[in-house]
Amino acid sequence: MKKIILNTTIALISFFLLLLIVRGDSGNPIYFQSELDTKLGGPFETSGNNSRYALTKALVDQKTIFFDEKLAKFASPDLVEHDGKFATIFTPGVSFIAAPFYYVGSILGYPQLLTYLSTTLFALLNIFLVASVARKFNVNINLSIISGLIFVFATSALSYANSLTQHHFSTAIILLAILNALQKRTILNNLFFGALVGIGALVDIPNLFFLAPVGIYVLTKHINLSSKLKLKPVFISLIAGVIPFIILFAFYNKQTTGSYTTLSQSIGRSSTFASEETKLIEKMPQGDRPLLPFNTRNQLDGLYILTISNERGIFYYSPILILGVLGLILAYRAKTNNDLLSLIISIILVNLTLYSMFNDPWGGWAFGPRYLIPTSALLSTALAVSLSRFNKNLLFNSLFFGLLLYSILVNTLGATTTSLVPPKVEAQNLSTQIPYTYEYNFQLAEKNTSSSLIYNLIANKYLDVKTYIFILGILILASINLIYNASFIKNLVLRKDKNYGKR
Amino acid sequence: MEKDKLFSFFKFSKLMTIYITYILSLISIVSFLVFYSNGLGLAYNDARSHLDIGRRVVEGLKPGLAQLGSVWLPLPHILMIPTIWIDFMWHSGLSGAMVSMVSFVATGVLIYQFLKHLNVGLTGRIFGVLVFVLNINILYLQSTAMTELLLLATMTASVYYLLLWHKDLKIVNLIKSSFFVMLSTLVRYDGWFLFLFSAGLVFLQALTNSNFSNIKKSLVLNYKKSEGTFILYSSLAALGIFLWFLWNLLIFKDPFYFAFGPYSAHAQQTQLEGAGELITKGNLILSTQHYLYALIYNSNIYVTILGLFGAVTLWLDNKTKSSVKFASSALTVPLIFNIVALYLGHSVLFIQGLSGNTWFNVRYGVMLLPSLAIFAGFLVHKLKVLRPALIGIFLFTAFIQFQSADAVTIDDARVGSSQKNVTEVSGWLAQNAKDKEGFVLISAASHDAIIFSSGLPMSKFIHEGTGKYWESATTNPERWARWIIMRTHDDNDAVWKTVSKTPDFQNYNLVAKYPFADIYELKDEFVPNVHTKPVLGKQK
């Protein structure tokens, strides 16, 4: 019962805090609900959101996966064209998940808000999924919840918690897959795991790479080593779980590309509504294209960009995650859950390796290392191990809160201003130069520009943007601190209990 | 049942070396065929020059061992001699590639054995071999007549036997180690540094090893024994260096001719320094940065990180004897040597993006790969829990490297400063000089790639190594050279430097002008008087 109350309280507080960063502007009554305006700081500032939103809208309003001219222009440049029909360049999973939300939103008159709420709810779910994974390291519930809160509020995951992108869906799928993989292989578990793989592919193709180590782990659990090498029959249910989604995906591909196996991404962007500049780039000779858009030659630069650079470095934007790395080392030495540790490290390595080799490790114009959001979640789970080991150490606590405050403020700044931060190479070539770090977000805050609906609707009458961000940051920190100290007090009480450790 | 399993595993483990040799040989042959068929096997200008040096020993106007020259150390060319006389072996590059291929297999096996003696299990050992083998740069270099693989094999063998000696103090291992160091000193100057480093290790090990002598009894006695061991080791290990000095003294009348002669690396570096392109000289940070980039581009960042962590794990491992750690430190020699060489200005390395927009000598970064493979194998052995993750990511990275054809050594050979597209000049020669009588005067030091690519017999060319033919042709060209290949107005070209000042030069027509060299042909009225046969007989 206590657990339910605690979880409900955490969910409500987190939901309230997430509402404070919901994107939007005042209008009649709220802007962006019927206006497909791509202005900076709005929910439609990036084409990554727009192309998926266009598909959601087309699915519900027009009962089709193809775009009319208005939606095609809105989705451009993340648009493909086949047989004169326009479709999104992305895999359709996110839009499929968001469609019911859009439907309800349309009835209520808030289609955009409700559609984006789907991601917010998944972000909320991720708090508990991160906590559940962290619990597998034998850390107490409060610290595990803190690790979940850190993931959502102190990493770049916050900027994407109110968007229509794949990041939170993918993270949820990966975390669910890990939790599932650690369980006994039953028909139901296997069906669910297969479904996760299928949904993962529909949400974003790289999920297949991230789920590969988990999949291999699950497969090894089906190998019977006692006699001859053979697979347990329950293995079939894995395939049964994945098949419906593969069929759905294949039919979707057939419609958009003319082939069951060809993805929209692989036929290239449509230049029909592209800017002259984009058309020029598309026309440039591309040379022999390899099978996959990855090249090991990019890895050195990519790794730098994604880890420590001021452009997209995960430890630059969320230095609190350094304690997650420490947690992995501690977990390795403690040998509490080797299988889990191996899975987590595998996925982190796949995530880092894959995107460090990618042609665009920045993730285009974005805030923070958006491609490393799954890694942020996994490092957050390990962070709980560090907290568990050192939470009585004053020096560690000082470091923890220092890093946490910085991480929360930086990411709150991003979430309440814009996700459109250019890579250095592009920023330096703009006619009007803008910073390529979160300094850009800070400049926007100084100009009193915010993407927060609550701020633009209510709080702007009382506060400037910087104060709003500061208050929001302090509220997040205070919530985490409250849980952290509750854990500390509880530990103190338990230590006085003679029976502590025997339970 | 259990006994049977144990026995079969033991048998399997024993046979692994044979399996690995067999598999690596197959990989080696397939790789050679791939690079031979796509024409990349001879892309490096230096590969063609190495083949020409070997060929000149057995064919030309003045064949003989003196043709080994002073620019490069002689072992790679000596090893080509048994096969280079066959035209196919020369022109396909197989004569030189065979040396590299055998070295590739040997290095792979040595990595396996090295890890075995570090008490690494089968998985770690095989992983170490995979790190070395699944590297596109290594597979490319082993398919060429370049010297890297031979150096890797001899250096790894030397460190391997040094490790064995540190473990068991058997004199036979010390001698084997010194023998392979000696071989490596005859491949590249990296080997000289290994000699100094390993000799120091031998001395220290002998001095500090309690089994070797009782320190309490007599420090002096211990010192004397270590001195003896050092001398024993160095006598054989330094033999190659001594012979090289002697060779230079006998052939070029200067023991330091290889170091300071007109075709030495030093001369090349001096020119680069004059042009402001030797940016690493005197700058330790830049030297380190350049070499680390070369290392990472060759080995891949993931392997480099694994190797780094593996080295730290080895040196901090409580179960590994300190003498073994001591011996393993010799694996870092290529790293130290290359950084020091760049810092002192004895070596040059261009990294695209760091030093302009070109590559040069980036292949030097491959020198640490066997060491990284050994350290990575050790790491995988130690981190048992993470083995699937570490191995899986490595295989994935290797797959991407192959699918994206990321081979920095091929870029170095094809588009970097190491390449020369001499097909126009060599094509002209093949078309216009092949069926006509007469000699071609050319500087081998500047245009060896043209000699190779022309497909003409070596005896058709008068170059620096042809003694009296060279002397006569450069002072009185119209009597000896029907064609002259040289870079006009470039005093670095020995032919231009001498011939352009002779009165005969006006008797030649410039018939073709190309980026790397121009072609001059003797005017028709002088052709009847030109020598077309090697009339000077056998020269000493």
Please report whether residue A289 resides in a domain: no
Q: Where are the alpha helices (DSSP H) in B169-264?
A: 171-185, 190-208, 219-237, 239-252, 257-260
Say whether B404 and A349 touch across the interface (CB within 8 A).
no
Q: What is the pLDDT of residue A3?
A: 80
Find, in chain B, the residue whose alpha carbon is nearest to that of A220.
B388
**From its phi and psi, is residue B385 left (phi > 0), alpha (psi between -120 and 50) or beta?**
alpha
Round to whole Å and give the CA distance between B204 and A128: 59
Chain B closest-CA separation from residue A294 CA (Å): 7
DSSP string, A342-367: HHHHHHHHHHHHHHHSBS-TT-SS-S
Q: In this structure, are residues A176 and A429 in contact, taking their beta carbons and an 8 Å threshold?
A: no
Q: From the list B385, B397, B404, which residue is nearest A353 (CB)?
A: B397
Q: Which two tokens stand for residue B199?
A: 């000799």
Q: Which two tokens stand for residue A297?
A: 């030659």
The CA–CA distances, whole Å, from B31 to A487, B41, B62, B91, B136 equal: 61, 10, 35, 18, 9
Question: Could you give the 3-state DSSP secondary structure of residue B242?
Answer: helix
Round to whole Å and give the CA distance between B230 and B224: 10
Find, in chain A, the residue whose alpha carbon is nearest to that of B353.
A301
Q: Which two tokens stand for residue A69?
A: 């001219």
Report which of B167, B117, B187, B233 is spatially closest to residue B334, judged by C-alpha positions. B187
Which residues is A358 bridged to in the sheet? A294
Is residue A332 within 8 angstroms of chain B, CB to CB?
A: yes
State ipTM: 0.89
Could you give the angle at the alpha carbon of A60 between the alpha carbons of A207 and A158, nearest 5°? 45
| Interface probe, candidates B313, B354, B380, B396, chain A, greatest A C-beta count within 10 A | B396
Q: From the list A295, A303, A338, which residue is nearest B385 (CB)?
A: A338
Signed CA dihedral, A303, A308, A312, A317: sign only: positive
DSSP class of residue A223 equals E
Report which of A31, A213, A7 is spatially closest to residue A111, judged by C-alpha positions. A31
- Count other Cβ atoms within 10 Å, centred on residue B488: 12
Round to whole Å and give the CA distance between B353 and B359: 9
Please report whether residue A257 resides in a domain: yes
Q: What are the residue ranges spanned by the domains of chain B?
A: 423-529
Residues of the domain holding A197: 2-279+296-496
Q: What is the pLDDT of residue A41?
A: 87
**From its phi and psi, is residue A448 left (phi > 0), alpha (psi between -120 and 50) or beta?**
left
Q: In this structure, are residues B388 and B382 in contact, taking their beta carbons and an 8 Å threshold?
A: no
- Residues 6 or more apart whose CB falls under 8 angstroms from that of A338 comprise B385
Chain A closest-CA separation from residue B434 CA (Å): 38
Q: From the list B383, B392, B404, which residue is nearest A296 (CB)?
A: B404
Chain B closest-CA separation from residue A227 CA (Å): 13
Report which of B260, B196, B248 is spatially closest to residue B74, judged by C-alpha positions. B248
- Sole residue written with tokens 């809208």: A57
Say whether B392 and A216 touch across the interface (CB within 8 A).
yes
Is residue A289 within 8 angstroms of chain B, CB to CB?
A: no
> Would you call B447 exposed, middle or buried from its count of C-beta atoms within 10 A (0-12, 13-18, 19+)?
buried
Q: Which residues of A touch B405 (CB under 8 A)?
A: 290
Please report whether residue A476 resides in a domain: yes
Q: Which amino acid is at A261?
A: T
Which residues is A80 bridged to in the sheet? A87
DSSP string, B59-99: SSSS-SGGGG-SSS-SHHHHHHHHHHTSHHHHHSSHHHHHH
Q: What is the pLDDT of residue A289?
A: 57
Q: Which residues of A touch B302 (CB under 8 A)?
A: 299, 353
Q: In this structure, are residues A422 and A398 in contact, taking their beta carbons and an 8 Å threshold?
A: no
**What phi and psi, each to the nearest 5 degrees, are found at residue B485?**
-115, 125
Q: Which residues of A touch B392 (CB under 8 A)?
A: 212-213, 216, 346
Please report whether residue A501 resides in a domain: no
Say whether B408 and A297 touch across the interface (CB within 8 A).
yes
Q: What is the pLDDT of residue B418?
A: 60
Q: From the list A212, A216, A296, which residue is nearest B400 (CB)?
A: A296
Cα atoms in the Cβ-side hemisphere of radius 13 Å centred on B482: 20
Say whether A296 and B389 touch across the interface (CB within 8 A).
no
The CA–CA distances, whole Å, from A473 to A116, A139, A143, A323, A479 equal: 22, 26, 19, 20, 10
Q: Which residues of A touch B406 (CB under 8 A)?
A: 295-297
Say whether A353 and B388 touch across the interface (CB within 8 A).
no
Say whether B389 and A349 touch across the interface (CB within 8 A).
yes
Chain A closest-CA separation from residue B422 CA (Å): 25
- Residues 6 or more apart whose CB falls under 8 angstroms from that of B465 comprise B56, B60, B62, B66, B67, B69, B444
DSSP string, B400-429: HHHHTT--HHHHHHHTSTT----HHHHHHH
Q: What is the pLDDT of residue A501?
A: 41
- Residues 6 or more apart whose CB falls under 8 angstroms from that of A351 comprise A210, A371, A372, A374, A375
Say whether A350 and B396 touch across the interface (CB within 8 A).
yes
pLDDT tens digit at each of 540 positions of chain B: 556 666 666 667 678 899 999 999 999 999 999 999 999 999 998 999 999 999 999 999 999 998 998 889 999 999 999 999 999 999 999 999 999 999 999 999 999 999 999 999 999 999 999 999 999 999 999 999 999 999 999 999 999 999 999 999 999 999 999 999 999 999 999 999 999 999 999 999 888 875 545 555 556 667 888 889 999 999 999 999 999 999 999 998 999 999 888 888 888 888 888 888 899 999 999 999 999 999 999 999 999 999 999 999 999 999 999 999 999 999 999 999 999 999 999 999 999 988 888 889 999 999 999 999 999 999 999 999 999 999 999 999 999 999 999 999 999 998 765 666 788 899 999 999 988 999 999 999 889 989 999 999 999 999 998 989 999 999 999 999 999 999 999 988 999 999 999 998 999 999 999 888 999 999 999 999 889 888 776 665
Please report whether residue A249 resides in a domain: yes
pLDDT tens digit at each of 503 positions of chain A: 778 888 899 999 999 999 999 999 988 778 998 888 998 889 999 988 999 999 999 999 999 999 999 999 999 999 999 999 999 999 999 999 999 999 999 999 999 999 999 999 999 999 999 999 999 999 999 999 999 999 999 999 999 999 999 999 999 999 999 999 999 999 999 999 999 999 999 999 999 999 999 999 999 988 876 656 677 778 889 999 999 999 999 999 999 999 999 999 888 888 887 766 666 555 555 555 556 789 999 999 999 999 999 999 999 999 999 999 999 999 999 998 999 999 999 999 999 999 999 999 999 999 999 999 999 999 999 999 999 999 889 999 999 999 999 999 999 999 999 999 999 999 988 888 899 999 999 999 999 999 999 999 999 999 999 999 999 999 999 999 999 888 666 666 666 554 444 43
Round to whole Å and give the CA distance between A169 and A171: 5
Q: Which amino acid is at B195?
A: F
The CA–CA distances, whole Å, from B361 to A250, B48, B515 equal: 49, 16, 22
| Interface probe, candidates B291, B296, B302, B383, chain A, greatest A C-beta count within 10 A | B302
Please report whether residue A290 resides in a domain: no
Q: Where are the alpha helices (DSSP H) in B317-462?
A: 322-328, 333-344, 369-382, 387-403, 408-414, 423-432, 444-454
> Would you call A328 exposed, middle or buried from its count of C-beta atoms within 10 A (0-12, 13-18, 19+)?
buried
Report which of A212, A142, A131 is spatially closest to residue A179, judged by C-alpha positions. A131
Say whether B403 and A290 touch across the interface (CB within 8 A).
yes
Cα atoms in the Cβ-side hemisphere of radius 13 Å centred on B58: 17
- Count other Cβ atoms within 10 Å, centred on residue A250: 12
> Would you call A170 exposed, middle or buried from its count of C-beta atoms within 10 A (0-12, 13-18, 19+)?
buried
Q: From the list A217, A294, A299, which residue is nearest B300 (CB)?
A: A299
Round to whole Å and give the CA distance between B483 and B430: 12
- Count other Cβ atoms within 10 Å, centred on residue B112: 25
Q: What is the pLDDT of residue B421?
A: 73
Q: What is the pLDDT of residue B31?
A: 97
User: How many domains does chain A fold into?
Assistant: 1
Which residues is A87 bridged to in the sheet? A80
- Sole residue written with tokens 């200067």: B254
Please report whether residue A270 resides in a domain: yes
Report which of A144, A146, A93 is spatially closest to residue A122, judged by C-alpha positions. A93
ω into residue B477 within 30 of 0, thus cis?
Answer: no
Please report whether residue A169 resides in a domain: yes
The CA–CA distances, whole Å, from A24 to A48, A115, A383, B328 equal: 17, 13, 33, 62
Q: What is the pLDDT of residue A502?
A: 43
Say whether A300 and B393 touch across the interface (CB within 8 A).
no
